């Protein structure tokens, strides 16, 4: 690699992220919460304002549940429960 331009590249203290990390995914933690494509309230938690799916490293889901969420969101989009993209943005 080429040398860096930053002169002091020492051990900078890690800044805390705005998103607090969850130890476990909320679906593993709470068995009562089911992933249902007919339940946009739960799914909305995992999509951004623009209608994009929140990545796993931010949502904190495990891969199994993240996949279920993704499937559910895609299904919900198909039947227009969730937006594919925020095409109609309110001014
Ligand atoms: Zn899980």
| CA of residue 6 to ligand 1 center, whole Å | 40
| CA of residue 71 to ligand 1 center, whole Å | 14
pLDDT in tens, 46-83: 999 888 999 999 889 999 999 999 999 999 999 988 77
Q: Tokens standing for 43?
A: 């799914």
1 or 65: which carries more pLDDT confidence?
A: 65
Query: Residue ranges per domain, the chain?
Result: 32-78
- Give me the CATH code for the 32-78 domain, please: 4.10.640.10
Question: Which residues, in sequence order, are bridge partners of residue 53?
Answer: 47
| CA of residue 25 to ligand 1 center, whole Å | 5
22 or 47: which carries more pLDDT confidence?
A: 47
Q: Among residues 69, 46, 59, which one has the least CA distance to residue 20?
A: 59
| CA of residue 60 to ligand 1 center, whole Å | 9
């Amino acid at each position: 690699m080429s040398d860096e331009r930053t002169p002091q590249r020492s051990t900078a203290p890690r800044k805390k992220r705005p998103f607090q990390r969850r130890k476990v995914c909320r679906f593993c933690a709470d068995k009562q919460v089911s992933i249902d494509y007919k339940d946009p309230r739960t799914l909305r938690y995992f999509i951004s304002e623009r209608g994009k799916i929140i990545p796993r490293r931010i949502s904190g889901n495990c891969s199994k549940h993240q996949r279920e969420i993704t499937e559910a969101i895609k299904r919900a989009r198909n039947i227009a429960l969730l937006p594919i993209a925020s095409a109609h943005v309110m001014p």
